[in-house]
């Protein structure tokens, strides 16, 4: 039994290499993301450039096969990379890129031709992918797709996609690539009527409209430094008779649900393997309670508030422990969605305890008065937002199935 | 990274033999019988535990023990918690042993510890009084210095395993005759001494707790463990170091409740389907799993920290909060899953409910440990 996260000797020598590379390649003027909604175009472009550098080095998708442009690194080295990046307040990937969810599906269900064509640009950082699952009528019920992808009656090797996706994407306003779940058969039974596509983002007939949201990012994702890639900027995407070649179809026609499940398993917490995330916001909060003169006076004058500090500490420790358990592959079948559920529900408790302790300081981003660069205000908004990546109810369905009591 | 949350091969063997012991020697029927007794243990079972080397699991070789890591001891306690197996194992081989190791001088260790290893000697701590607190600042039990030794007077309350104990470790106030300053001191006192009376506190949920009255109990000077001044420090250290193992016992209980609830919800049919299909029932079972896993990993980490770092209060307070609350809540949620069936005194869940209640406050309730954490976090 060993709970320490210290590097082994092999890891330490790799860390030296990573640090040297970061010294040379990580721009000095990158501002850590605190509120994604406020990121400037200039900052985004700088991150994009850095993302490409990581990609060229094979470190953007470090765990993926070298033959497709990945880094071919084992989890112990990937861990070092993520740690070293996070020490510099940088996430992996540094930008919102749902290639992290599309690539497992392509690897599992794509043809060899598709793997060679699609994966290298993703792994090298040239292509940013959005995941387009959610629709107005397909939220937690992701199988209830209304966006149709039907074979063209004139050109049999093409599909025509039409429909409406919502709460998807991030920066920029138009990605290079989209990973789309559609209904490809109007008559087949549920779950057998779907198909998955990975398509270019600039096809004629695709319209992207930004949504005006006060939040759309889950709390633990923002709170963890390594999760800063989950963005709070979302869009509607409309497909107006978009012509898509069948070479974009991932898996067979009608296999969309199977392909999607490969993705959802990763998105709903995976459960086996992975990195140990830090709860950046919890760490910052505890530090502020101790060091900020205004807040420590508040705590001294209102002793009952200490309970809230302790609750936040306890919740963040349980989150850390379940995270470590999963990272070491001890999470059993239900560990992935269990951690995801725990983190989300802890997020809701966190923000209410945080609000108790900080009072109105929890809600301001004012340059002069905000604490910790305003991240607590971001946290308050995120704590309201439980849907991204799956609702807690969806996670419970997953846990119950894994425990052998669900369907 | 060095992260590796597997048990060692040795610990896994120990787990297998402890679980075999629970299945073979302490099945439900036996646990049920033991729960009804004042001692909570049979002679045969105690002997077997001695033969397996478990009674001396924290005792160094030189005193005849089979000293093991905290993590290994945790494996044994976790298995016992699945029963939950009652009896004085924790009181004697964990807490009592730890107090002796912390407080006693060398010759006392040589005198006391071998008896614990072979099971002749059974210790329990008599510390708590009517003013229930785990910070012994206000003890009223006093040990007056006499020419022959000490004379003790006082009433100890909620003493675990008093009927099983051959010796009490008594926390009492002593006075330095020269300076008149007072100390909390520790004494080892034979349970059969004249002037000691023991009464079990009735109540389905009170476990095996007792009132122990000391009335003019005379003990020789050699009964004082170590010296007069070190009692309080030794007591606090021993209690803190024992907490993770109590937590391991509760983790075993939580896991057992989760397994029971899963099995029942798969087989029990209502409204023409297994009740586990109902999301309301799933909610409760998921919550049991969350409690069990939070308690488990916090406990494992606290045990590991003690093995590698010696003493880490933060992890101990955390584990105690999660294990005490988790065990309590797992029982309550379990009763909702089982409903009527589980209100029977014969139902295994009721064994756990008794144990989760009677051990909730033991070594300080979650509020006590939260306050301690608050102090650490904000200082």
Q: What is the pLDDT of residue A75?
A: 81
Q: Which of A80, A276, A306 sits opposite B374 (nearest CB)?
A: A306
- Taking the mean position of all CA atoms in its chain, how far away is CA B376? 24
Domains of chain B: 9-121 (1.10.540.10), 125-229 (2.40.110.10), 233-378 (1.20.140.10)
Residues A231 and A337: their CA atoms lie apart, in Å, by 21
- CA A31 to chain CA mean position, Å: 20
- Mean pLDDT, to the nearest integer, of B24-40? 96
Confidence of residue B53 (pLDDT cuts 50, 70, 90): very high
Count of beta carbons in the 10 Å neighbourhood of residue A40: 9
Which residues are paired to A177 by β-bridges?
A129, A200
Question: For residue B124, what are the contacts with CB-CB under 8 A and spacing of at least 6?
Answer: B88, B91, B92, B95, B96, B159, B160, B161, B162, B164, B165, B167, B168, B169
Question: pLDDT for B228-248, tens place per residue?
Answer: 999 999 999 999 999 999 999
| Residue B290 contacts A, CB cutoff 8 Å | yes
Whether A334 and chain B come into contact, CB under 8 Å, resolves to: yes
Identify whether the C-beta of residue A259 lies closer than 8 Å to the C-beta of residue A250: yes
Please tell me if residue A328 touches chain B, with a CB cutoff of 8 Å. yes
Q: Residue A401 is encoded by which pair of tokens?
A: 């199935």
Residues of chain B contacting residue A290, judged by C-beta atoms under 8 Å apart: 377-378
Q: For chain A, give every residue range classified as CATH 1.20.140.10.
A: 280-402
Give dist(CA B260, CA B268) in Å, integer: 12
Mean pLDDT, to the nearest integer, of B112-128? 98
Task: Note the maximum CA span of chain B.
Answer: 80
B97: pLDDT strictly greater than 70: yes
Are A328 and B4 within 8 A, CB to CB? yes
**Chain centroid offset of residue A402 CA:** 23
> Distance between CA A98 and CA A120 in Å, rounded?
15
Residue B350 pLDDT exceeds 90? yes
Q: Are the Cβ atoms of A306 and B378 closer than 8 angstroms?
A: yes
- The angle subtended at Cα B153 by Cα B149 and Cα B158, nearest 5°, is 125
- The per-residue pLDDT string of chain A (407 residues; one tens digit each, 9 = 90 and over) reads 999 988 999 999 999 999 999 999 999 998 877 777 777 889 889 999 999 999 999 999 998 999 999 999 988 898 899 889 888 888 888 888 889 889 999 999 999 999 999 999 999 999 999 999 999 999 989 999 999 999 999 999 999 999 999 999 887 778 999 999 999 999 999 999 999 999 999 999 999 999 988 876 665 544 444 444 455 688 999 999 999 999 999 999 999 999 998 777 766 654 444 567 677 889 899 999 999 999 999 999 999 999 999 999 999 999 999 989 988 889 888 998 999 899 889 989 999 999 999 999 999 999 999 998 888 888 888 888 888 878 899 999 999 999 999 87
Residue in the block written with tokens 């420590």: A296
Does B278 contact A at CB distance below 8 Å?
no
DSSP, res A32:
P
Query: Could you say which of 3.30.1360.40, 2.40.110.10, 2.60.120.10, 3.90.1150.10 is the CATH number of the domain covering A129-260?
Result: 2.40.110.10
Please tell me the distance from the alpha carbon of residue B305 to that of residue B315, in angstroms, as a whole number.
Answer: 8
User: What is the reported pLDDT for A105?
Assistant: 92
Position A31 scores a pLDDT of: 81
Asked if CATH classification 1.10.540 holds for the domain at A9-103, the reply, yes or no, is yes
Contacts of A161 (CB under 8 A, 6+ apart): A147, A148, A149, A180, A182, A197, A199, A205, A239, A241, A242, A244
In chain A, which residues have their Cβ closer than 8 Å to the Cβ of B4?
Answer: 1-2, 328
User: Chain A contact for B171, CB < 8 A?
Assistant: no
Closest chain B residue to the Cα of A342, Cα to Cα? B290
CA distance A81 to chain B (A): 12
Q: Is B341 on the interface with A (CB under 8 A)?
A: no
Structural contact between residues A138 and A144, judged by C-beta atoms closer than 8 angstroms: yes
Q: Which residues of A touch B321 (CB under 8 A)?
A: 314
Q: Establish whether this prediction's ipTM goes over 0.85.
A: yes
Contact status of B298 with chain A (Cβ, < 8 Å): yes
Cβ-based contacts of A404 with chain B (< 8 Å) = 262, 266, 276
Q: Return d(Cα A95, Cα B71) in angstroms, integer.
A: 42
Distance from CA of A354 to the nearest CA of B (A): 15
CB atoms within 10 A of CB B367: 12
- State yes or no: pLDDT of B165 exceeds 50: yes
Mean predicted lDDT score pLDDT of chain B: 96
pLDDT greater at residue A274 or residue B51: B51
- Select from A161, A5, A15, A170 the least CA-distant residue to A78: A15
CA distance A329 to A331: 6
pLDDT at A273: 46
Interchain proximity B5–A313, CB inside 8 Å:
no
The predicted pLDDT at position A231 comes to 58
The pLDDT, as a whole number, for residue A228 is 45
Residue range(s) in chain A whose domain bears CATH number 1.10.540: 9-103
Query: Which architecture, in CATH terms, is A280-402?
Result: Up-down Bundle (1.20)
Contact between B46 and B119 under an 8 Å Cβ cutoff? The reply is: yes
Query: With an 8 Å Cβ cutoff, are A5 and B294 in contact?
Result: no
């Amino acid at each position: 039994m060993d709970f320490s996260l210290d590097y082994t000797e092999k890891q330490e020598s790799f860390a030296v290499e990573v640090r040297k590379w970061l010294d040379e390649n990580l721009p000095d003027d990158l501002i850590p993301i605190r509120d994604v909604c406020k990121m400037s175009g200039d900052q985004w472009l700088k991150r994009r450039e850095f993302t490409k550098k990581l990609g060229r080095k094979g470190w953007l998708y470090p765990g993926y096969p070298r033959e497709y442009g990945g880094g071919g690194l084992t989890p112990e080295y990937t861990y070092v990379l993520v740690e070293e990046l996070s020490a510099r307040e940088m996430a992996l990937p540094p930008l919102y890129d749902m290639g992290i969810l599309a690539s497992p599906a392509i690897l599992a269900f794509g043809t060899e031709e598709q793997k060679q064509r699609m994966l290298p640009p993703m792994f090298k950082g040239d292509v940013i992918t959005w995941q387009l699952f959610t629709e107005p009528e397909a939220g937690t019920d992701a199988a209830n797709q209304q966006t149709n992808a039907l074979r063209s009656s004139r050109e049999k090797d093409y599909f025509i996609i039409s429909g409406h996706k919502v709460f998807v994407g991030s920066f920029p306003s138009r990605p290079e690539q989209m990973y789309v779940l559609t209904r490809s058969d109007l008559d087949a039974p549920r779950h057998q009527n779907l198909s998955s596509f990975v398509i270019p983002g600039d096809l004629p007939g695709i319209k992207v409209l930004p949504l005006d949201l006060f939040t759309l990012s889950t709390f633990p994702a923002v709170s963890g430094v390594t999760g800063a890639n989950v963005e709070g900027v979302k869009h509607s995407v409309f497909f107006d008779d978009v012509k898509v070649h069948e070479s974009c179809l991932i898996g067979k026609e009608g296999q969309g649900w199977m392909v999607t499940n490969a993705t959802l398993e990763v998105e709903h917490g995976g459960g086996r393997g992975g990195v140990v995330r830090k709860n950046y916001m919890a760490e910052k909060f505890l530090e502020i309670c101790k060091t900020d003169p205004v807040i420590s006076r508040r705590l001294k004058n209102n002793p009952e508030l200490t309970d809230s500090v302790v609750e936040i500490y306890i919740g963040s420790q349980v989150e850390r422990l379940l995270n470590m358990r999963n990272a070491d592959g001890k999470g059993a079948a239900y560990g992935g969605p269990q951690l995801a559920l725990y983190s989300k529900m802890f997020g809701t408790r966190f923000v209410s305890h945080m609000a108790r302790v900080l009072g109105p300081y929890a809600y301001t981003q004012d340059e002069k008065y905000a604490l910790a660069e305003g991240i607590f205000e971001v946290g308050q908004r995120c704590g309201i937002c439980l849907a991204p990546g799956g609702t807690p109810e969806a996670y419970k369905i997953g846990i119950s199935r894994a425990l052998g009591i669900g369907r | 990274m060095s992260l590796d949350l597997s048990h060692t091969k040795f610990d896994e063997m120990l787990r297998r033999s402890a679980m075999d012991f629970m299945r073979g020697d302490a099945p439900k029927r036996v646990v049920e019988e033991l729960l009804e007794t004042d001692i909570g243990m049979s002679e045969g079972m105690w002997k077997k535990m001695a033969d397996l080397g478990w009674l001396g699991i924290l005792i160094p070789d030189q005193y005849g023990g089979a000293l093991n890591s905290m993590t290994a001891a945790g494996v044994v306690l976790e298995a016992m918690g699945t029963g939950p197996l009652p009896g004085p194992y924790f009181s004697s081989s964990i807490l009592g042993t730890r107090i002796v190791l912390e407080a006693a001088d060398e010759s006392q260790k040589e005198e006391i510890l071998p008896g614990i290893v072979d099971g002749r000697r059974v210790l329990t701590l008599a510390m708590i009084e009517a003013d229930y607190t785990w910070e012994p600042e206000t003890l009223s039990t006093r040990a007056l210095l006499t020419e022959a030794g000490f004379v003790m007077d006082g009433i100890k309350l909620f003493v675990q395993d008093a009927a099983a104990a051959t010796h009490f470790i008594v926390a009492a106030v002593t006075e330095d005759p020269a300076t008149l300053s007072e100390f909390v001191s520790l004494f080892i006192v034979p349970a059969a001494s004249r002037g000691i009376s023991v009464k079990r506190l009735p109540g389905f949920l009170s476990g095996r707790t007792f009132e122990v009255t000391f009335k003019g109990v005379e003990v020789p000077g050699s009964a004082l463990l170590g010296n007069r001044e070190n009692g309080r420090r030794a007591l606090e250290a021993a209690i803190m170091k024992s907490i993770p193992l109590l937590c391991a016992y509760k983790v075993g209980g939580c896991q057992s409740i989760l397994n029971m609830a899963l099995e029942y919800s798969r087989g029990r049919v209502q409204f023409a389907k297994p009740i586990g299909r109902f999301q309301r029932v799933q909610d409760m079972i998921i919550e049991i799993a969350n409690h069990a896993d939070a308690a488990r990993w916090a406990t494992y980490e606290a045990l590991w920290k003690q093995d590698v770092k010696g003493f880490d209060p933060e992890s101990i307070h955390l584990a105690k909060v999660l294990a005490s609350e988790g065990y309590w809540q797992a029982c309550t949620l379990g009763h909702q899953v089982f409903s009527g069936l589980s209100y029977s005194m014969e139902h295994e869940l009721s064994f756990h409910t008794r144990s989760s209640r009677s051990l909730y406050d033991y070594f300080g309730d979650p509020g006590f440990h939260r306050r301690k954490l608050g102090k650490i976090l904000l200082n």
